[in-house]
Structure 1
């Protein structure tokens, strides 16, 4: 390692500047006793168990401000990990108000994936990557898996590429590479496991060839980088003195491994979580990480936040009762409210699903007539298919609504096409991107031409673009093969297009280049004509209009980019981080940012939907982290919640109960829980009835005087 005097000097200068700040104690103003304890605690490892609506974001932000203002920790020595980009942005904005924008800009406040990307950009060569590597979004990952499966003659109808891609990601999240996974396979292994292993081996090799990484690879490769390179690991240990992690109950195995590696012997780690809100076990989240933290980190201080600032007490009483039946809780917490008793929770016992949707829609109409904005109302359900009845009824009643979880802006075909052109301009080895747009719009480059290119690429062990260059060189040589000359003639138009795009990229601003790219490639005209043929040319969200919105998104990115997203020019010099001195290609930075944006945070416009005055429809899983004045929990019935899939698993049953708890605690002012006695599913009417969770709840209050709920039976005749 080189001398760290510059590193120490920077911290000393910042400490001197902060020493003069007399306003540190203002950070503690307005905090309750538990919050005050968490924020002002001495420097040490901490586990903050934060119940729903107890102000954990305020505590996290205030703790970071306290570290800077009171303990004089340099912002660049602080890492704050969030689970969504939206949460990271909110944290930075709130910090800017407390400590100043210039100070907060130098700390790392990002998601796990963004932080790992930042480290991999800085140490690409040490991680076995070429600088400028691209990130495969979910669509690109599935496309690549599908292509490989077809090459391997694996039936994509019997084995869905999306399932195989998901299985590969799960192995990576458990830290298992393709070779290690193949050694775990036996003759008795299920066929889908054997197929996953076969595809995983090829997938790993092709990703390395194409210099691309998927989301899970970002984490796994960073963990391997830190494990295998002591110099880089120790540099991070000196850098990050205070590490804070939000939503800790949602961390998986590889994220926990990363946390243990990034924290040095002199670092302090503060994690905030609520085991009662751990609802993502199905995608790898491990609630036991909270217990592991107490075991693996020394001298951990535990702080409980239980004063709720969101809901009325009757809603909290229902939530406390539901979750109280779980026996695997880290500690018992009873949420106390700050907004009075409130209305009783209304349980709607409906004759059937049509009656349920009508009853809910009528109450929504009445709320709106009384002055409640539609945006303050949410309908939450366990499974997406349950939304259909409510969509149809709301439409009939002319009640506007938005659905979370549909096709998002960056998942649209026209946007994916535009992004694919951008990707090959920053990474010529990205064959997955190239194959998407080599003939979009049509250039008469059919499957036979592509197969010819792939044959050359396989023979020369190179990318398709490099294969085109070999063809171009060949046709200008003395001994020209007619077959190869014919092949080049068919792809020459695309080769020429790439050359023009590269020139434009170097001479124009990012947004001006993107606009020119859409024109030169023909995507503007292609989708304008497609809209016209389908009668969608005058629609607000036509494909052509979406391309225009992409340009607006890029302009917004330009205006908000005050520094390269992953460079860190203040870092001390070393052989390991010299790449950080280089200014990153703005196009590469933009692609990295949009690929890492959680689609769950965006509506179809690529924006948050909070500004639309419409009823919010979403699954309970999607609702986590959100809150609404009026919440309708629908389909709260047998075999739906809890799901019939977890009938024989105590672990799964506990997670389903936590999901119900999350749904209940989204409500601020009033909560409605509805269920049907009969439900039409797959063309058949089945007797359903109340969820076992609801039965537990009602039994608990039977015979008691202070009951926080009321039950209303609604017959089918009420709405017919």
Structure 2
């Protein structure tokens, strides 16, 4: 297609960075740049090596880490922003202490040096890691924004129904599944969801797909498994109706089946508030009907997938326009952080089988995980902190961890590694008390 567009003129410009290729499962591979030289041998290579974002120390660390990958295009990022502060590596006792430490450091740094909450970003390998840091930030009344979820008009009732609709057109949408699996309540508790999530991650499949696997019977109690499977079967029936019959009728059937109006009355302050929220839901359904009717008038076809896709796009545009007005700590996956920048970055969960991910270790695709690490490091403008837990809870049990191999690849002279050598309980307690005393003095 590109050859046909270019024709005989050779008027082609390609922009890319093989070191930031982190979507191989979408077909984006660094080899694609190599193939360009064969298809377009007259292309001139121009290296853009000056970085206008990060300090020299951060870029040096990124260069050294990514040097462990094979390269066809060698480059060295450099900056005139000064060399900067050392990279901090924090070993924490467990995942709860890890999140506590990140939350208190954000509060302390903001109080001591000023700035805004949106100067801070906490990055992680998988969405499931956000739960604990959210709890700790809430405890300190720190506003945060969890990126990746979809929002429509910013109302919870719209988010709920949109999550159901997203599942109808994309059953692998785990974020949508997590939002609706117990909304309204289906007696599917957090312990069940946690075990399902861990099982799905282990199998590298979606959570709803995991509910049909026989292996899940070894993880969940029969009652919990039955509730999950009944939910999955019901959703499959609604999805089938939405694609084969009247999609809007199927959506209305879905809303009636879950008695969403009754749920709103149970979870709203007044009957009037519940009615107003339900009107928002009706408005959303009407929008879908109008899209379909308009397409019919123009002689086009508008499937449920087309209609919901347009609503998601509107949601994203609205969210983008409001983003700059929010002073919030940014929580997101390393994948989602690509292209963004923050003065202060924390990357949590720097452990083997998490970063790099277990699936990558087993499949011997560490190079892509290292590129993901490179992306994470280069999001930081002024300070970078990497954390890992000595123990992390899996399937309800605390499991010993091993720190990520990527930490050993960082230049020793540019890092401060806290907790690598064993410290006594008294020293750990004193360090925690010093942090709290520092916070109190700032107040």
Candidates 374, 387, 394, aligned match of 1:681: 394
Distance 1:687 1:438, change over 3 A: same
Is residue 2:25 matched to residue 1:319? Answer: no
Distance 1:587 1:283, change over 3 A: closer
2:75 alignment partner in structure 1 = 333
**CA–CA separation in structure 2 for the residues paired with 1:363 and 1:600:** 36
**CA–CA separation in structure 1 for the residues paired with 2:286 and 2:80:** 45
Is residue 2:275 matched to residue 1:531? Answer: no
C-alpha displacement of 1:436:
3.6
1:430-478 deviations in Å (ceiling 9; x for gaps) = 96184442255469x99xxxxxxxxxxxxxxxxxxxxxxxxxxxxxxxx
Conserved? CA contact 1:415–1:547, under 8 Å: no
Residue segments in structure 2 that go unaligned for 5+ positions in a row: 167-240, 288-296, 434-443
Structure with larger RCO (C-alpha < 8 A, sep 6+): 2
Is residue 2:39 matched to residue 1:296? Answer: yes
2:202 alignment partner in structure 1 = none
Equivalence map 1:570-589=2 (5 Å): none
2:416 alignment partner in structure 1 = 710
Candidates 336, 351, 359, aligned match of 1:622: 336
1:617-636 deviations in Å (ceiling 9; x for gaps) = 11101111111111100001
1:438 alignment partner in structure 2 = 249
Equivalence map 1:560-579=2 (5 Å): none
- For the residue of structure 2 that corresponds to 1:276, the secondary structure is helix
Candidates 351, 354, 364, aligned match of 1:637: 351
**CA–CA separation in structure 1 for the residues paired with 2:333 and 2:251:** 36
**CA–CA separation in structure 2 for the residues paired with 1:320 and 1:542:** 52
1:380 alignment partner in structure 2 = 123
Distance 1:586 1:367, change over 3 A: farther
Pick the structure with greater CA Rg.
1
Candidates 62, 87, 98, aligned match of 1:356: 98
Conserved? CA contact 1:401–1:614, under 8 Å: yes
Distance 1:439 1:295, change over 3 A: closer
Conserved? CA contact 2:165–2:308, under 8 Å: no
**CA–CA separation in structure 1 for the residues paired with 2:269 and 2:8:** 60
Candidates 602, 607, 612, aligned match of 2:326: 612
Conserved? CA contact 1:642–1:657, under 8 Å: yes
C-alpha displacement of 1:681:
1.6
Distance 1:439 1:547, change over 3 A: closer
Conserved? CA contact 2:261–2:278, under 8 Å: yes
Conserved? CA contact 2:19–2:374, under 8 Å: yes
Distance 1:617 1:530, change over 3 A: same
Residue segments in structure 1 that go unaligned for 5+ positions in a row: 1-257, 420-429, 447-525, 553-582, 702-706
**CA–CA separation in structure 1 for the residues paired with 2:60 and 2:285:** 46
Is residue 2:376 matched to residue 1:663? Answer: yes
**CA–CA separation in structure 1 for the residues paired with 2:282 and 2:108:** 39
C-alpha displacement of 1:309:
0.5
Distance 1:305 1:333, change over 3 A: same
Conserved? CA contact 2:351–2:389, under 8 Å: yes
- For the residue of structure 2 that corresponds to 1:621, the secondary structure is coil
Equivalence map 1:403-442=2 (5 Å): 403-409=146-152, 412=159, 414-415=161-162, 432=243, 434-438=245-249, 440-441=251-252
**CA–CA separation in structure 2 for the residues paired with 1:600 and 1:615:** 24
**CA–CA separation in structure 1 for the residues paired with 2:61 and 2:326:** 30
